[in-house]
Structure 1
Amino acid sequence: MTDHQRLLSGRTAVVTGGARGLGKAIAEELASRGVHVALLGLEGDALAQTATELPTASRSWPVDITDDDAMAHTAEDVHRLMGPVSIVVANAGVAEAGPFLDSDPHSWRRVIEVNLIGSAVTARSFLPHLLDTRGHYLQIASIASIGAVPMMSAYCASKAGVESFTHSLRAETAPCGVSVGIAYLNWIDTDMIRDADRYTVMRKLRSHMPRPARAISSAEHMARRVVTSVERRASSVYVPGWLRSSQLVRGVLPGVITRVSRRQLTHSRYTATGLLGAGGRAARRATVRDDGRPTDPR
Structure 2
Amino acid sequence: MSTDSLSGQVAVVTGAARGVGAELARTLAARGARVALVGLEPEELKATAAACGPDADWWQADVTDAEAMSAAAAEITQRYGRVDVVVANAGIAAGGLFQDSDMDTWRRVVEVNLLGSATTARAFLPALVASRGYLLQIASLAAMTPAPLMTAYCASKSGVEAFAHALRAEVANQGVRVGVGYLSWTDTDMVRGADEDEVMRDMRASLPWPTNRTYPLEPAVQRIADGIARRSVHVYAQGWLRGYQLMRGQIPLFLGRFAPIKLRGLEPRLRESAAARRGLVGRGGAADEAARAQRRVSG
* Superimposed CA distance per residue, residues 240-294 of structure 1 (whole angstroms, 9 cap, x where no aligned partner): 22212222322222221122122111323112252011110011123279xxxx6
> TM-score, with normalisation over the residues of structure 1?
0.93
The amino acid that maps onto 1:282 is A
SS of the residue corresponding to residue 292 of structure 2 reads coil
For 1:228 and 1:4, locate their aligned partners in 2 and report how far apart those are by CA, in whole Å. 5
Correspondence list, 1:3-14, <5 A: 4-5=3-4, 7-14=5-12
Letter paired with 1:211: W
For the residues of structure 2 that align with 1:56 and 1:233, how far apart are their CA atoms? 25
One-letter code of the match for 1:31?
A: A
* Stretch of structure 1 that moved more, 176-185 or 192-201: 192-201
1:157 pairs with 2:162: no
- 2:193 corresponding residue in structure 1: 195
Q: Secondary structure at the match of 1:214?
A: coil
* One-letter amino acid of the structure 2 residue matched with residue 122 of structure 1: T
- Is the helix fraction higher in 1 or 2? 2
CA RMSD, 1 decimal: 1.7
C-alpha separation in 2, matches of 1:200 and 1:273: 15
Verify: 1:186 aligned to 2:184, yes or no. Answer: yes
Gap regions ≥5 residues in structure 2: none
| Alignment check: 8 A CA contact 2:102 2:278 kept | no
Aligned match of 2:111 in 98, 107, 113?
113
Residue correspondence of structure 1 range 1-298 to structure 2 within 5 A: 4-5=3-4, 7-266=5-264, 267-270=267-270, 271=274, 272=277, 274-287=279-292
Give a deviation string over 1:225-250, Cα, whole Å, max 9, x none: 00110111110012322212222322
TM, length-normalised to structure 2 = 0.93
Runs of 4+ in 1 over 4 A off after TM superposition: 294-297
Asked if the contact 2:203–2:262 (Cα under 8 Å) also holds between the matched residues in 1, the reply is no
Amino acid at match of 1:281: A
Q: Which consecutive unaligned segments of at least 5 residues does structure 1 have?
A: none
Contact 1:110 1:283 in 2 (8 A): no
Identity over aligned pairs, percent: 47
Q: C-alpha separation between the residues in 1 aligned to 2:27 and 2:177?
A: 20
Give the paired residue count: 290
